[in-house]
Structure formats: C-alpha cells, structure tokens
Amino acid sequence: MSETIYPFTAWTLTPSFAPKDVKLVKRGYYESYHVTGGGKHYLNSDLHANKVECIKAGWRRIDEQQAVLDKRAAAIEKKKLNLTKHSLNPA
C-alpha cells in the first residue's frame, strides 16, 4: 500500500463491532498505519474496502473468540471433573 492516494474512505469495526466508515487523510508514523482528520490511527489489518468485507472480518473475529472460549470451557470442565472425583475420595 505504499502507493496509497489520500484521502480515501475505508471501513472498520467499532469496539461494539458496528461497521463504520472512516476517512483517512495521511499515512501514520509507521507504514502500516493510516490517520483520520481527527488524529485517530488505524492499522491496515483493521481497515476494509467495503462494508460487506468489514462485516465478514467481524464474523471471523467472533469465531476466533468463540474458539478460545470453547477451549477454556473444556479445560474448566476437566478441572471440575478432577475436583469432583477427588472430593468423593478425600483420603
């Protein structure tokens, strides 16, 4: 993206995962960042060409987060079973 022409509009997700269009006016200090007129920095990986791609990226992030939670839930369940097993035979 070294040949990016400013200003341009891209889509990003807010912290509540609502898609939002942002107008980027210049490159950030690092090549992988872009800056809005208000001074907010966005990483290339957080920017999408259109709303549909932004929403798809949001679903991928949700799926990744759910996989982490599922793995943690399985580990907690194993610990519960282990404690239950040893509670029945405290000696």
Class of domain 8-88: mainly beta
| Mean pLDDT over each residue of the chain, to the nearest integer | 93
**Which residues does residue 35 pair with via DSSP β-bridges, in sequence order?**
26, 41
Report the phi/psi class of residue 19: left, alpha or beta, with left for phi > 0 and alpha for psi in -120 to 50: beta
Domain residue ranges in the chain:
8-88
Q: Above pLDDT 70, what percent of the chain?
A: 96
> Residue 32 — φ and ψ, nearest 5°?
-85, 5
Average pLDDT (41-62) is 97
pTM above 0.95, yes or no: no
